[in-house]
Amino acid sequence: MSKLWGGRFTKQTNALVEQYTASIGFDKQLAEEDIQGSLAHVSMLGKCGIVPQEDVESIKSGLNKVLERIRKGEIEFSVSDEDIHMNIEKNLIEEVGPVGGKLHTGRSRNDQVATDMHLYLRNRVVELTGMLHELQTALIGQAKDNLDTIIPGYTHLQRAQPILFAHHLMAYVSMFQRDIGRLIDSYKRINILPLGAGALAGTTFPIDRHFVAEQLGFDGVYENSLDAVSDRDFILEFLSDASMIMMHLSRLSEELVLWSSTEFNFIELDDAFCTGSSIMPQKKNPDVPELVRGKTGRVYGNLMGLFTVLKSLPLAYNKDMQEDKEGMFDTVATLEGALQLFAPMIATMKVNKGRMREAVNTDFSNATDIADFLVGKGLPFRQAHEVIGKTVLYCIQNNKFLLDLTLEEFQQFSPLFDDSIYQVLQPETVVNARNVYGGTATPQVKAAIDRAEQALSVSAEWIQAHSAGANK
């Protein structure tokens, strides 16, 4: 039999079965990780005296040659060899002879594939954290440039209260900081070694799992062999974290689309991140944020897909679990693609400060401050609320805004109004009146930027430290 596991079988595998069950079409992305794990495993086999050192060196040399050929694109992976593990092992045996068959001593494809995915996600989490760091840097840069830019703040997509545009941008910095925190926390559960669990019960060979973990830069090993080969929580956790990142990107995307429309005209995205129309030459379409908004659904789908695969699976490994990889690869590619574009798109975004100020001057988003003014004069808030409601209605009926009213017009609604109301209603006054921790006042936003930059320094240190560990 041509199969490496074919000794027990009397017939060749049906060709359709080979095509249907093979995973090499997608798990070839794990080639680097598979060889990385195999090098550590065979080193351990030599250290423990399970495989002669001469054979260990031959296998390691062969694995490095196979890796070099893969990197050069010289190896054609075969569906008949099912997956990346068998393809690499077959090429190894062709390279070094029957001694290559000793590599699989003391392990199974079950713990091998789990190890590959731990290695793969470990690297991706560090990379994605770095990309989020770059996006935060771009947002903070725009916030610093817009500490004097006032924009309408919205609830229900209706103008609510004026805020600093920098304050709005820093809200997303906070969201992405939570995302970074979740990725960093997930790393703890990703960076655990399953290798050595065998098919499900461990192995009869006197292996040293902790040595392998040290060689690969893992923080520890799985305590239970059944759990080691069947656990996919770490992938679910990553997909969940990725879904939240995409949700945050989608929310920002929606605002970029709105803000760049003629109706808002608050921003202009750089030409490099927009496309045109095949029929309407005047069009400049915000395709990048639109597509990110759309691709969020596929990331959600990958999360729910794996949840569904794992539902009711008995211990330990089942072939169903082969379905854990394509969604993971797709999510990584989708998220990396979005983040690679978002940071430079935000950094090159032009802000129409004049249009934002015009919008603030032509609405009633400063109405709450009139109520606060009257409360300060001793009027109960509920009565003040009613007074301002009637004042706003009067403005609407007379095609005016609050700052257009004369003092006499104000005083027909309450004798408590005086000339100071005009300073109270100025957008800068309204914004800076909210000088509480987390508020939109300029000093508070500057402080928030300082705190965010301190957090960036911490995450940069983590990225640097774990980039070295992930590439060990």
The active-site residue, picked from 156, 312, 420, 457, is 156
Is the peptide bond between 316 and the residue preceding it cis, with omega within 30 degrees of 0?
yes
Tell how far CA 270 is from the center of its chain. 23
The Cα 279–Cα 277 span in angstroms is 5
Q: At what angle do helices 31-47 and 53-71 cross, to 10 degrees?
A: 170
In angstroms, what CA-CA distances link 246 with 17, 24, 107, 286, 346?
36, 28, 37, 17, 16
Give the active site residue among 240, 261, 277, 459.
277
For the question of residue 156 being annotated catalytic, the response is yes
DSSP letters of 330-379? Answer: HHHHHHHHHHHHHHHHHHT-EE-HHHHHHHHHTSSTTHHHHHHHHHHTT-
CA distance 389 to 87: 74
d(CA 84, CA 32): 10
Residues 189 and 233: beta-carbon distance below 8 Å: yes
DSSP category for residue 155: E
The tokens for 364 are 């009633």
Q: What phi and psi, each to the nearest 5 degrees, are found at residue 349?
A: -65, 135
Active-site residue set: 156, 277
